[in-house]
Homo-oligomer: A and B are copies of this chain.
Amino acid sequence: MRTLIKDTNDFVGQKVTVAGWVNSKRSYGKLVFIDLRDRSGIIQIVGNEILAELKEEFVVQITGNVRDRAEKYFNDKIITGKIELEAESIKILSSAEEMPFDIHQPELNVTLPVLLDNRSLSFRNQKVSEVFKVQETIVKTFREFLGKQDFTEIQIPTIVATATEGGSELFSIDYFGKKAYLAQSPQFYKQIMVSIFERVFTVAHAYRAEPSVTTRHITEYLGLDCEWGFIESWEDIMNIADGVVKAIFKAVKDNHQNVLDDYKIEIPQTTKNTPRVKLKEALQIIFDRTGRDIRKEPDLDPEGEREICKYALEKFGSDIIFITHFPTKKRPAYAYPDPESPTETLSFDLLGKGVEWITGGQRINDYKTLQESFKSRGIDISSFEKPYFEAFKFGMPPEGGFCIGLERITQNILELENIRQASLFPRDMERVDTRLNSVDEKK
């Protein structure tokens, strides 16, 4: 019967069996010390020749007696730092080849390509893998926050017949001799389901065939998407987005202070009322602060995003800020124009630490208005009639929603340099696990 390493503290003076990976090994003459790692922590094993054949990353089961360490050998870096296990018998469950680089340094000092070229190995570095514990908490918090508010979780397909956000950047699939595509977003489907369950969310795979390599884009990513009806004001949507993000911050801090410490960062600062600034105002603020004139632009550029976040932090003490009222012509056809200023939409981005994390807004819920909006952009509406427009044709409440880029928010909360560090197996223009240029051109 296996005892988890963190529980060995309760068994001083008793015999236990632990199992895990050899994290490190040190020999002093015949005396051998091993740090054994399992999912719960690390324990020091002391033994003699029976430990001699073990090497780093061997998987082993060890039975022995738990005993107190002398106080001068206490190690407060591990949860079992006041005890050790005296090995009596061992069983090797798996051997391991020699490591090509030292994986258990606190900082894995390799370049990103090396990190990704050796993905399965580099995960064994704690700082590399604990990112995904944080990511799990982010997803879970999103679900729990919305679940408590009566949202229904739905499952959305990724193979689609048409584009949702415009025609470019689509991956095409050979679908039984016809063409289908990978979904750019679950947008149409979550909207449809508002007409059934009123409030829905989904963790969706989304794809962009963007032929560029940046530190903030990957080709397959995850969206924490939600959408709901009977909104009383479009600001409701920002209120929920604000609530979700603050709940995520709290959950990450409550559950992963150790990771924040490893990354030497603090959870983002927030204020009760997250600042909300219209895009036009934001562009003016940037001009006033820096003299850089992008006031005619329909969006913030990366430099603008960083500057407006600096402003939010300085002026309001907030690492997050809503930018609202993006131009109608730059938002998708389903975005709801502001009745008081139809060239602007009731839409928003939430920026965090200098980068866009969330995009959302109210949607056009009237069937005819929605059709007109699509038509006015030169879109052939016949391919959207079913199932998308059909949901509006038969009665759709005022509605809206938003999408959180999961890798994006993970990256930025942890201040990772590259979004690829926030995706278990990142795909980009040059890589699907292995580098594509190492593969024969098959087409």
Q: A residues bordering B, Cβ < 8 Å? A: 2, 19, 21-22, 38-39, 57-59, 93-97, 99, 117-121, 123-124, 129, 132-133, 135-136, 139-140, 150, 152-161, 171-180, 182, 189, 192-193, 195-199, 203, 205, 207, 209, 211, 219-220, 222, 230, 232, 365-367, 383, 386-388, 390-398, 406, 423-427, 429, 432-434, 436, 439, 441-443
Q: Which residues of B contact A118 (CB under 8 A)?
A: 386, 390
6 closest residue pairs by CB, A with B:
A96-B395, A120-B391, A120-B390, A57-B395, A39-B198, A120-B387
Q: Which residues of B contact A176 (CB under 8 A)?
A: 209, 211, 429, 436
Q: Which residues of B contact A180 (CB under 8 A)?
A: 432
Contact A96:B434 (CB < 8 A) given known A155-B139, A155-B424, A424-B193: no
Complex-state Cα separation, A132 to B152, whole angstroms: 9
Q: What are 6 A-B interface contacts by the 8 Å CB criterion?
A: A38-B198, A93-B365, A120-B394, A160-B432, A160-B433, A161-B436
Complex-state Cα separation, A100 to B248, whole angstroms: 45
Per DSSP, chain A at the interface is mixed
Complex-state Cα separation, A3 to B206, whole angstroms: 36
Complex-state Cα separation, A132 to B196, whole angstroms: 11
Copies in the complex: 2
Contact A154:B424 (CB < 8 A) given known A172-B173, A175-B432, A176-B429: yes
Q: Which residues of B contact A423 (CB under 8 A)?
A: 155, 157
The answer to whether A177 touches B219, judged by C-beta atoms less than 8 angstroms apart, is no
Complex-state Cα separation, A302 to B152, whole angstroms: 34
Contact A394:B124 (CB < 8 A) given known A2-B232, A152-B133, A178-B436: yes
Output the least CB separation between A54 and chain B (Å): 11
Given B38, B153, B196, which contacts A124 in the complex, CB threshold below 8 Å? B196
Q: Which residues of B contact A154 (CB under 8 A)?
A: 132, 136, 424
Q: Which residues of B contact A158 (CB under 8 A)?
A: 158, 205, 220
Complex-state Cα separation, A153 to B160, whole angstroms: 26
The answer to whether B139 touches A222, judged by C-beta atoms less than 8 angstroms apart, is no
Contact A58:B395 (CB < 8 A) given known A129-B196, A387-B433: yes
Output the least CB separation between A259 and chain B (Å): 14
The answer to whether B439 touches A161, judged by C-beta atoms less than 8 angstroms apart, is yes
Complex-state Cα separation, A211 to B124, whole angstroms: 41
Q: Which residues of B contact A439 (CB under 8 A)?
A: 161, 178, 383
Q: Which of A155, A180, A199, A397 has the most CB of B within 10 A?
A: A155
The answer to whether A427 touches B157, judged by C-beta atoms less than 8 angstroms apart, is yes
Given B123, B196, B387, B436, which contacts A195 in the complex, CB threshold below 8 Å? B123
The answer to whether A196 touches B123, judged by C-beta atoms less than 8 angstroms apart, is yes
Complex-state Cα separation, A436 to B383, whole angstroms: 11
Complex-state Cα separation, A174 to B443, whole angstroms: 9
